[in-house]
Homo-oligomer: A and B are copies of this chain.
Amino acid sequence: MARKKKDLSALYKVVRKITSFLSLDQVLRTLIEETTLLFNSEITSVMLLDEESNELVIEVAKGLAPRVVRNTRIKMGERISGWVAKHGKAILVKDVEKDPRFRKRSQEKYYTKSLISAPIKGRKGKVIGVVNVNNKKTRRPFTKNDLEFLQGVASQAAIAIENARLYENLHQAYLQTIRALATAIDTKDHYTYDHSEHVTKYAIAIAEELGISKREREEIKEACQLHDIGKIGIHDRILTKPGKLTEEEWKEIKLHPRKGADILEPLDFLSGVVELVREHHERYNGKGYPNGIKGQKITLGARVMAVADAFDAMTSERPYRGALSRREAIEELKKQSGSQFDPRVLKAFLEVLKKKPRWGIKTKISKG
């Protein structure tokens, strides 16, 4: 009885941990860690069903060689995991060698004596995976009680896995739509079709010159691709206006970094990117928008983007003026050192440009 009580209390704790994530990766890693700990098992693995091939694939494991994890694919009905998945039933095998159901063990790639295995069943009762626990370190066989416990874990894992998949699917779809949107805005707003590509190229080169970490460079890259999505709300009439903008029109244009950040805000996997999009029009002297923040208060990546964005804008044709030459653009940038741009960032970009004598020299592309 005490054992039962301990089990349920432990089960509750595992459940709490597993369900607290909406990232599939974190759900699975927590599941494997907690299960291994609870059963004190030599080998633990979680397999998920690959819907296309109808095969079980190991998603996470403990105690298995990476080669085995990579290469194991089990068809529905085959071997122990396949049996569990096909029948949707948990199984307890006290001694694999003595169990008539699974005696043919030539394909086993690892030593197994005693095991429990439970199906992971989704909302509609469909098996979406299997969790396998092999060999207690104590060498004792698993019990019926262990099996019930594992079923409890698997049943909750199913919910957590499905929730994470729903969340990640939505996240992915949103990101894809935003990317398509960014491309559409690029095409609409700029005379060159590849403004964002250029800005990305320049910004990454500056970031490398400054020794910015790989992780941050990736955020900068994503932010460059998406930096103008806030323009979705701005009328074409304003974006493509050939003459000077009125004060009202400028006010609307100036909303785009904030709107862009709002669009990205719920994409929590991109948290670093949101700041960069919000701040890419801030100026080193505090006279930028939307918040008028100053100097080091502006995220470094955003200071990098500001230089990259300005250089590409200068060297591109605009409805109201022709493109500056590379040399003219460089002079213009230098004039704004310390006011619009962070001098350190600008210096890094000038270094970059020395190594890239063709950057900023464009073949004119007519629009349409």
Contacts and interface: CB of A to CB of B under 8 A. Distances in A.
A15 interface: yes
Contacts of A20: 123, 159
A156 B171 CA distance: 24
B5 A1 contact: yes
Nearest to A188: B236
Contact of A167 (B22, B177, B181): B22
B266 A15 contact: no
When all copies of this chain in the complex are counted, the total is 2
A187 B232 CA distance: 11
B166 A268 contact: yes
B266 A156 contact: no
9 contacts: A12-B12, A12-B152, A16-B159, A169-B266, A170-B267, A173-B267, A177-B232, A181-B232, A184-B184
A259 to B, nearest CB: 9
Interface residues of A, number: 47
A191 B183 CA distance: 23
A187 B188 CA distance: 12
B163 A19 contact: yes
Choose among A11, A159, A171, A368 the residue with the greatest number of B CB atoms under 10 Å from its CB: A159
Contacts of A265: 173
Given A5-B8, A19-B159, A22-B167, 17 more contacts: A1-B1, A1-B5, A8-B9, A8-B12, A16-B159, A20-B159, A22-B166, A163-B167, A167-B167, A169-B266, A173-B267, A174-B174, A177-B232, A180-B232, A181-B232, A184-B233, A187-B235
A237 interface: yes
A253 interface: no
A353 interface: no
A311 B180 CA distance: 29
Contact of A177 (B15, B22, B166, B263): B263
